[in-house]
Amino acid sequence: MQLAYNGSPFHGWQSQPGGVATVQSALEDALSKILRQPVAITGAGRTDTGVNARMMVAHFDLPDHVTFDPSSLPRALGAITGPAITVQRVWPVSPDMHARFSATSRTYRYFALTRRSPFFNNLAWTAPRHLDFEAMNRAAQLLVHTSDFTSFSKLHTDVKTNICHVTHALWSPVPMTGGAAWMFEITADRFLRNMVRAVVGTLVEVGRGKMSVRQFQQVIAAKDRCAAGTSMPPHALYLWDITYP
C-alpha cells in the first residue's frame, strides 16, 4: 500500500506496547477489522513521533484463501483510521517484494519559515531571521562525501551500522511562498533514527554563524552525537519519497 499521514496525532510509525497510538497500529487495527483476521504490516521505514509522510509504502501478507478487491481498501481504511492517514492505493506484488529491504532510496524534506505564516505555522519550523543558506549548502555538500553518520544518530539504537550513502543534500527556496519558506531535501539509501533532524539542527548552527563549515566537517569526523547540534522539531519533517527497482 502507498499512504500519507500527518504525524502529529501519533507516536511515530512503529507499533508500541501499551496501546500507544502509532500509524502502524492504526492501520493494522483497521485492516484486521475489514479482512476479519489479524493482519501485520511492514513499513519502508520508521518515522519518529510527530514526523509526517507525504509517501510511505507498506506491505502485508495474506493467505491464498483470503480474497478482496484491492481498490476498495483505501476508502474502507480511511473510514476507520480517520483524516490523519490517507491510503492512496493498494495493489498486489510479487512475494519477494519487501517494503523496507527492496527500497533503493528515501528522500526527506524539512521545511523552514523565514517569516511567520498563518497557513504554514503548524507544518514548518519558524526559523530565526537572516540564516546564511549559502553557508548551510556548503556544509550540506560535505554530507554527500560522508559515509559514517554516527554524529547524527540517536544514541543506543539497535542498528548494526551507522553507514549511509547520501546522494543529495540541498537547501532551496519553496516556490509560491514569496521567499517566506525554504526546504532542506536529503536523499540516501537509508537513514538512522533522528538523523535528518540532527543534520538540520547542525546546519542551522552554521546558518546562524555559530559554527563554520570547517567545524561542521569536524563534527562529522568526531563520530560523536554530542558534537552535533540539537534535534529539530518533528512537525516540519516529511518522508517525501521512496524509490524501488
CATH of domain 105-243: 3.30.70.660
Helix, strand, or coil (residue 13): coil
Contact 85, 5 (CB under 8 A): yes
Residue 213 C-alpha cell reads as: 563549515
Stretch 57-81: mean pLDDT, rounded? Answer: 90
Is 48 among the catalytic positions? yes
Residue 64 C-alpha cell reads as: 491464498
- Convert 124-163 to b/e letters by CB count within 10 Å (16 or more is b): bbebeeebebebbbebbebbeebeebbbbbeeeeeeeebe
pLDDT of 129 strictly over 80: no
91 phi and psi angles, rounded to 5 deg? -150, 155
CATH class of 2-89: alpha beta
Catalytic residue among 29, 48, 64, 148: 48
Domain boundaries, the chain: 2-89, 105-243
pLDDT (tens digit per residue) in 80-108: 999 999 999 999 999 999 999 999 999 99
Contact 34, 80 (CB under 8 A): yes
**Strand pairing of 166-173 and 181-188?**
antiparallel
Distance separating alpha carbons of residues 147 and 153, to the nearest angstrom: 13
| Cα distances (angstroms) measured from residue 61 to each of 1, 58, 92 | 11, 11, 10
pLDDT score, position 160: 84
pLDDT (tens digit per residue) in 8-66: 999 999 999 888 999 999 999 999 999 999 999 999 999 999 999 999 999 999 888 87
Same fold across 2-89 and 105-243: yes
